[in-house]
Amino acid sequence: MLIEVKVQSLGLDRSNNNPVVILQEEEGERILPIWIGPGEASAIAMQLAEWSFSRPLTHDLLVSVLSGLGGSLERVLITRVMDNTYFAELIIQRNGDVISVDARPSDSIAVALRLNARIYAEEDLLERATVEIAEDESVPLDPEGQDPPGRSKDPAQDLKEYLKKLNPEDFGRFMP
């Protein structure tokens, strides 16, 4: 099932200084962090800041080509992840035909923002990202190898507690 998401924020992963775009479901609190390249992060940041340039940048050029060919971006789908790489599709309508174009999520998001197109993610990606975030949160065992006090035996409860504490501002701000 597809869930509509929005760009909640753009930041830097403080552990490695890589840009990360945080998508949040429109009707909920789950998030999908996607690590992206600095060029794509700049394109997203510039659009979020509503900066304009006298000459088109790459994503602006794609928007112009799409429009010039009589197409419109209906939506972006973030469809799957394989080996820590996310995949997306641009769903384009032109002359009554629907065309699906394979694309990186970062480029897709940059184009969608420019065209005010909706962005959707497969629900299992939101679920998986939520679980992975919780699993990545390392809580050290005590010296005897036991769970520390306060950590429950219920992973779902641990996840719920972690997500309540997760704040997109925990990521640093990305500045183009």
Beta strands 71-82 and 85-94, pairing class: antiparallel
pLDDT value, residue 130: 61
Region 18-32 average pLDDT = 93
**pTM of the predicted structure, to 2 decimals:** 0.74
**Dist. CA 119–CA 125, nearest whole Å:** 13
Beta strands 2-13 and 85-94, pairing class: unpaired
Domain chopping of the chain, boundaries: 2-136+152-173
Residue-wise pLDDT for 87-132, tens only, equals 999 999 999 999 999 999 999 999 999 999 999 999 999 988 765 5
**Dist. CA 30–CA 163, nearest whole Å:** 8
Check whether 70 has a pLDDT greater than 80: yes
Architecture in CATH of 2-136+152-173: Roll (3.10)
CB count within 10 Å of CB 171 equals: 20
3-state secondary structure of 167: coil
To 10 degrees, what angle do helices 38-48 and 105-115 make?
Answer: 20
**Dist. CA 54–CA 132, nearest whole Å:** 42
pLDDT value, residue 15: 83
